[in-house]
Amino acid sequence: MKIFLHRRGFIARIAALMVLPFVAQRRAFAQSEAVDSLIEKITGGAPLQRGRVKLEIPTLADNGNSVSLRVVVDSPMTPSNHVKSIHLIAPKNPRPGVASFFYGAGAGRPQISTRIRLSGSQGVIAVAVSACWDAS
């Protein structure tokens, strides 16, 4: 129980990123190398766009072993414009990649609630990948 038992407040700053092809705004959110390469793996090098992803997480958590959070993505979920996946990254965790959620055809509202571990106060990042063929 070395890493996760800090009974301290967890200030979770919120950073929500959105991946959209055709939007030229690369590397707008510089993070550590590990996080950068994680995001790169998710996006496949596609540019990131801020917004449309809402990450609801308490600003102060009693216990880093279990922090509830919710990610809501603003997407019509039509065949031409839908969320393919949502990824959670906690940069200061020993393994920053927390989880990835994939949506197939037949998935409903692009929303996920879960409980995560956080090792210390940190910002949590949510990245959503959307298929958006009608983007101009």
Partner 1 sequence: MAARISVPQNARRGDSIEIRVAIQHPMETGYRTDDNGTSIPKNVINKLACRYNGVEVFRAEMGSGISANPYLSFFIIAANSGELRFDWVDDAGVTGSERTSIIVAG
The residues that touch partner 1, with contacts defined as CB under 8 A, are 1-4, 65-67, 88, 90, 93-118
What is the Cα–Cα distance from 69 to 87, expressed in whole angstroms? Answer: 13
Residue with Cβ nearer partner 1 (2 or 24): 2
The residue (of 16 and 118) whose beta carbon lies closer to partner 1 is 118
81 and 132 Cβ atoms separated by less than 8 Å: yes
Pick the closer one to partner 1 by CB: 49 or 116: 116
CB of 103 to partner 1, least distance (A): 6
Q: List Cβ neighbours of 15 (8 Å cut-off, separation of 6 or more).
A: 29, 55, 123, 124, 125, 126
- Smallest separation, CB 23 to partner 1 (Å): 26
Query: Are 109 and 86 a contacting pair, CB within 8 Å?
Result: no
Q: What is the DSSP string of 5-42?
A: ---S-----EEEEEE-TT---TT-S---HHHHHHHHHH
In the bound state with partner 1, the residue whose beta carbon lies nearer, of 49 and 55, is: 55
* Minimum gap (Å) between residue 136 Cβ and partner 1: 27
Minimal distance in Å, beta carbon 25 to partner 1?
27
